Structure 1
Amino acid sequence: MAQTAFAPWDDPEAKPLIEFRHVTKRFGDFIAIDDLSLEIYEREFFALLGPSGCGKTTMMRMLAGFEPPSAGTILLSGQDIAPVPPNKRAVNMMFQSYALFPHLTVWDNIAFGLKRDKLPKEAIEARVAEMLKLTRLEKFARRKPHQISGGQRQRVALARSLAKAPKLLLLDEPLGALDKKLRQDTQFELMDIQEKTGTTFVIVTHDQEEAMTVASRVAVMDEGRLIQVDTPDRIYEYPNSVYVADFIGDVNIIEGHAEKSGDGYEVTFAEGQPKLRAKTANGLRGSGRCYLAIRPEKIAISSQEPQDAANAVRGVIDDIAYLGNLSTYYVRLDNGKIIKAQTANTRRIAKRDLTWEDSVWLSWTDTAAVVLEN
């Protein structure tokens, strides 16, 4: 039997675990969160993504109970959590620093919250054993934090956070201290643990790749507002604004003037350049100023003029970025506009057909670009 896709946000009957209703947070005259409404569902791995100062950490601190909202309501399982102190909420928070007790063993770090709740000794032992197994730390149970690696310390902090079986786990830049390779490996461990426990995870990150990898949905934020909330693939393929298109992944933004043409648009973008054709689900309210957002991997590059291409422009290779598995070509058009095209390196670098100063053609389909108004 086919597995049903997990998408409670598309189910009108589904009740959210967390609701932000018109929440505003002020610090003096500064508005950190601006009339924000959001729903997060049970078993979601939800990412708050944005640059420093966008309000994502403030949202998390309000969920944890460290900051009260200045206006609006935050609900957890349908109940207003404002009157509930942090230690009484079914919420746990894992900090970027991990905040482990250096004088306690891994076992005692994980057991700490359970002991404070005065659980029976047998229950504590059983739960710690379960968490050690879940995070693959059984053989490190008697070591202290300084005797294990950064990735293992991260897993200890995660095990301790999950030991009390919170409804909601908040993760504040949890992988920031790890090197890139370990961070990538740990992302998949986090996803696996979240799926096994069924706990709702909300992660704060400024790393777009991390958010796109781990999350069921991503909220892209800027200046205390939600700009777009959607699944990673939809945010990447169908950004709702130039800000989101530019923030997520690599992109070419071409400013121009759009005119309706059949089931799409014709875009004039520079004197002496051909009009560009685009069909897009976004649509514009009418003709006028627009922006085309095109991902570099959707642009083909060749030394020969392509036949029957919906869009084709000519330029000269200005620069090449070799990324191992990919090469990005920076192509300067006659009007000075730089457009990036990306190709997979299926052959060794010595076999490269195109190089600096070569005259090339760039081409893409009429559905490759998204047409945006702002």
Structure 2
Amino acid sequence: MAETVFAPWDDPNEKPLIRFQNVTKRFGEFVAIDDLTLDIFEREFFALLGPSGCGKTTMMRMLAGFETVSEGSIELAGQDIAAVPPNKRAVNMMFQSYALFPHLSVYENIAFGLRRGNMPKHDLDARVTEMLKLTRLEKFARRKPHQISGGQRQRVALARSLAKAPKLLLLDEPLGALDAKLRQATQFELMDIQEKTGTTFVIVTHDQEEAMTVASRVAVMDEGRVMQVATPERIYEAPESVYVADFIGDVNIVAGQSTPMGEDRYHISWAEGQQPLVAASDRPFTDGQSCHLAVRPEKIAISAERPADVDNAVQGKVLDIAYLGNLSTYYVELPGGQIIKSQTANTRRISRRTFTWEDTVWVSWTATAGVLLAQ
């Protein structure tokens, strides 16, 4: 039997768990969130992604109840949460600093919220044991936070946040303090725990790789506005603006003017004395309209000879080479000064490079390799 794909956002009958409706948040004159409308569904792992100061943490603090909405409304499970105090919301927040109690053991840190909720001892013990097991901390139950590693402290904070079975868990840059390798392992742990508990997670991060790894959908933000909300694949392959294309991963962006060539095809005039580029687009562009062609480096081939039968081929010279072990990125300067990045996988061990600095090369790509963008 085919597995059903989790995509409640595509189902018009699904009711969202969280609904931002025309939410604006001002701090004095400064608009932190600008007329934001957004739905997040139950069991989603939703990422708010953007540069510092784009409003992602403000959104999270409004959900948690630490900030009030200036205009508009936020609903949680169909209820307007404006009047609900933070401690009465079915929402928990895990902070960047983890905020563990240094004098309490791992067990007591996890039990803290449950004790305050007067949970009977027998249930409390069962619940804490379940959380220790979920986060693989059974062996460390008696230790104090300073006796365990950063990654383990992170898991304690997660176990404590999930102990009260919130409907929604907010994670503010939760992996910021971990080193690269541990971050990667922890991302998969987070996904695993989120799936096992079925809790809705909303994570704030400025790390695009993290958002693309963990999230069911990503909201890319800029200056208090959501630029695009989509699955990681859609954000990468079908960005709706130059901002989103540029924010996620590496990309080449060529500016030019479009000329329709029939059947969703366009010629792009982009540089004096250069052949127009060919691009496919199901979005309509008019004659002479300014546009941007965004092409990912891995979709651009590099060769010594001009390739035959290819939609786009431009000659240039190798300006720089970035060797990343599994990949090499070639920076090729075109006659007009534009630099195109081409990325190739290093499948064989490098005995000698095919191309080196200053070599004249051809970069080529198909009409469907890029995305044509209006702004």
Deviation at 1:352, TM superposition (A): 1.9
Structure 1, gaps ≥5 residues long: none
The letter of the residue matching 1:139 is: K
Deviation at 1:349, TM superposition (A): 2.4
Unaligned runs of 5+ in 2: none
State the AA in 2 paired with 1:288. Answer: Q
State the secondary structure of the residue aligned to 1:361: strand
Matched residue of 2:99: which SS? coil
Residue deviations 1:272-299 (CA, integer Å, cap 9, x gap): 2111000023343554111000000000
Q: How does 1:296-335 map to 2 (within 5 A)?
A: 296-335=297-336
Letter in 2 for 1:170: L
User: Is residue 56 of structure 1 aligned with residue 56 of structure 2?
Assistant: yes
Which piece of structure 1 moves more, 234-243 or 278-287? Answer: 278-287
Question: For 1:350, what is the secondary structure of its paired residue?
Answer: coil
Q: Is the 8 A contact 1:283 1:371 kept in 2?
A: no
Q: Is the 8 A contact 2:260 2:285 kept in 1?
A: no
Q: CA deviation at 1:350?
A: 2.4
TM superposition shift of 1:126: 0.3
Instruction: State the Cα distance separating 1:351 from its structure 2 match.
Output: 3.0
* Counterparts of 2:356 and 2:157, CA distance in 1: 49
State how 1:117-136 maps to structure 2 within 5 Å.
117-136=117-136
Task: Give the letter for the 1:371 counterpart.
Answer: L
TM-score, normalised with respect to structure 1: 0.99
SS in 2 for 1:349: coil
Deviation at 1:168, TM superposition (A): 0.1
Partner secondary structure for residue 162 of structure 1 = helix
Q: Could you give the per-residue CA deviations for residues 70-128 of structure 1, whole angstroms, max 9, x where no partner exists? A: 01110000000011100010000000000000111100000000000010001110000
Aligned to 1:295: 296
The answer (yes or no) to whether the contact 1:22–1:36 under 8 Å persists in 2 is yes
Count of residue pairs brought into register by the alignment? 374
Correspondence 1:207 to 2:207: yes
Which residue number in structure 1 is paired with residue 239 of structure 2?
239
State how 1:146-295 maps to structure 2 within 5 Å. 146-263=146-263, 264-284=265-285, 287-295=288-296
- Percent of pairs identical after alignment? 75
Shift of 1:262: 1.6
CA RMSD of aligned residues (A): 0.8
Distance 1:287 1:147 in 2: 66
- Matched to 2:350, the amino acid is I
Aligned counterparts of 2:280 and 2:202: Cα–Cα separation in 1: 35
Q: TM-score, normalised by structure 2?
A: 0.99
